[in-house]
Amino acid sequence: MQILVARSDNRPFELARFDAAWARAGGDPSELVFVTPSTAGEVAAPDAVFGGLLLTGGPDVEPARYGADIEVGVQPRLDPERDALDLALLERAEREGWPVLAVCYGCQVMNVFFGGTLIQDLDRAGKPNHYVSEPKDHLAHPVTKCGRSGGRWLDGCPDEFLVNSRHRQAIAEVAGPLEVILTAPDGVVEAVKLHHTNRFVLGVQWHPENLTQTEHVALFRAFRSACLAPFVVHGPRSTIFGAR
């Protein structure tokens, strides 16, 4: 089994972070295949078989992709090629039935993929203190499950637990196919899952790859189990560069 892991060309440090997180969850880091915009044609060829998709942190999603202009005073960090890569991989995951774990930027771009929108600047929106750059494992605030269970993919997590936080943007309008399953005390969406499916599709707004507490390791363990599960099927091959 191999898991496709999307990262930005300028973020090589993701390899060590996610290798370590995968090992903590009982996986072999050799199962992870990293792909960037510059290596997509070689690494994620249409005939390559993968068991799942992991989207890592990165830039800010281009507002035009969710029908918005850049707000006055906001200076986004854009990487159109990374957006294109992740959106194409999400489309391929839909076609081939892959489990998906989306982290931080990955959570945001997944919401955009399914038709949602984003808050472009949390501080300007009156929701500060979501960007704590250092140390990477600083537990910035709690998150709380919504509803009775918070989603079956959070079975390894308590009803409330602490997370780190390094994001200036967040989900605004939640995409129709997605359900909010975790929120911060100020109401910021911290995790979403895909409605009405047994397929693992989970987006989290924090960075569990930097954390060693049981609940964060459990997310990777649940994702890996989903990638190994019998319900994972590979449908018709699709091109990574297909238009959306």
pLDDT per residue as tens digits for the range 160-197 = 999 999 999 999 999 999 999 999 999 999 999 999 88
Residues contacting residue 72 through CB under 8 Å, at least 6 positions apart: none
Say what the pLDDT of residue 150 is: 64
Q: Is residue 74 part of a domain?
A: yes
Q: Is residue 244 part of a domain?
A: no
- Could you tell me if 128 and 79 are in contact, meaning their C-beta atoms sit under 8 angstroms apart? no
Q: Is residue 212 part of a domain?
A: yes
Choosing from 62, 96, 107, 207, the catalytic residue is 207
Q: Is residue 11 part of a domain?
A: yes
Residues in the chain predicted with pLDDT less than 70, given as ranges, are 148-150, 230-244
Say what the pLDDT of residue 1 is: 87
Residues contacting residue 243 through CB under 8 Å, at least 6 positions apart: none
> Number of structural domains, the chain?
1
Beta strands in 49-131, from DSSP E residues, in sequence order: 52-55, 100-103, 118-119
Choosing from 104, 107, 157, 227, the catalytic residue is 104
Reported pTM: 0.92
**Phi, psi (5° rounding) for residue 16?**
-65, -40
Q: Tell me, yes or no, if 141 is annotated catalytic.
A: no
Choosing from 62, 94, 190, 209, the catalytic residue is 209
Q: Tell me, yes or no, if 209 is annotated catalytic.
A: yes
Q: Is residue 31 part of a domain?
A: yes
Q: Is residue 237 part of a domain?
A: no
Say what the pLDDT of residue 53 is: 98
Peptide bond into 177 cis (omega under 30): no
For residue 63, give its domain range. 3-228
Tell me: the pLDDT tens digits for 209-222? 999 999 999 999 99
Q: Tell me, yes or no, if 146 is annotated catalytic.
A: no
Q: Is residue 239 part of a domain?
A: no
Say what the pLDDT of residue 211 is: 98
Q: Look up residue 205 and give its two tokens.
A: 């707004």
Q: Is residue 27 part of a domain?
A: yes
CATH code assigned at 173: 3.40.50.880
Nearest residue to 181 via CA among 146, 154, 149: 146
Beta strands in the chain, from DSSP E residues, in sequence order: 3-6, 32-35, 52-55, 100-103, 118-119, 141-145, 160-163, 170-171, 178-183, 189-194, 201-204
